[in-house]
Homo-oligomer: A and B are copies of this chain.
């Protein structure tokens, strides 16, 4: 939930002059997204999303994020399309912040996705990976191994405040991942944050993917491992192998995984579980009590991490043995 920056009508009208959208009829702050301030606009022509980029998004990365959305939309993927300004720039400035106007995608994110939705997700993810292959810009994954070590350095000393024994467990896990992390899997542009609230459906049909503000270049199969974590655990912590199988089958129906990717999957899942554990832990330890955000429990991802450590081969994710 977030509207960090409020805007007034005069400033907004001024901002909109650079776009061909007709008269502004209404704007309302929307209570979704935690990194930026988002408004839903109705104009004479069509509904739009206005995003103001807050300090957690580096302005230097905007051409990558916005260019990627444009690139994917041009290739037929259903994702928000940044509107170009009359001067050709992909974003402007509002309330002292970079601000972009983006097409509004109909659809709803699913609070309780089922296996059939996981299959749709797998198909869309693989299509995105293929469509991203010829995108010309690149962005390093700031939350890869090196970033995990940095985050852990800032949190390790206080980790046992959250759960006793955590400092040892994570230090060992990180060392093990540094030791064994793959170096030569197929790479490309990944979404890197494809949680259920970033995927819209109308009925059972996937209608769009949003929020590309963690997108970067990394192993394609790492993106799949993020989805396995984000979509396939039940509220009680149980891993739902039916959902995992549907997700992987959907993915492979478009882009078959190679042998090395399949073998690496349990390790990649440990890595992505650790990545979300570490950012949540950092926020948990550093968010002031009065802040207007809901802190997410890091221990949820610790449980996922432990599950993946117990996995011996990718067949436990529902992958057919070959």
Judge whether A112 and B8 touch: CB under 8 Å. Answer: yes
CB neighbours (8 Å) of A213 from chain B are: none
Judge whether B30 and A29 touch: CB under 8 Å. Answer: yes
Docked Cα-Cα span, A28 to B200, in Å, equals 11
Closest beta carbon of chain B to A117's beta carbon, Å: 11
CB < 8 Å neighbour of A47 from B2, B42, B202: B42
CB contacts under 8 Å to B, within A52-92, are: none
CB < 8 Å neighbour of A1 from B10, B29, B106, B290: B29
CB contacts under 8 Å to B, within A129-188, are: none
CB contacts under 8 Å to B, within A201-216, are: 201-202
Which of A19-27, A250-258, A260-268 lies at the binding interface? A19-27
Mark contacts of A201-235 with chain B using CB atoms, 8 A cut-off: 1 yes-contact digit, 0 otherwise.
Answer: 11000000000000000000000000000000000
Closest beta carbon of chain B to A29's beta carbon, Å: 4
Residue of B whose beta carbon sits closest to that of A12? B108
CB contacts under 8 Å to B, within A1-40, are: 1-3, 6-10, 23-32, 40
Indicate whether A238 reaches chain B with its CB closer than 8 angstroms. no
Docked Cα-Cα span, A112 to B11, in Å, equals 11
CB neighbours (8 Å) of A7 from chain B are: 111
CB contacts under 8 Å to B, within A231-290, are: 289-290
Indicate whether A299 reaches chain B with its CB closer than 8 angstroms. no
CB neighbours (8 Å) of A25 from chain B are: 106-107, 202
* Residue positions of A touching B, CB distance < 8 A: 1-3, 6-10, 23-32, 40, 42, 47, 105-108, 110-112, 200-202, 289-290, 292, 294
Closest 6 CB pairs of A and B: A8-B111, A29-B31, A25-B106, A3-B31, A31-B31, A26-B106
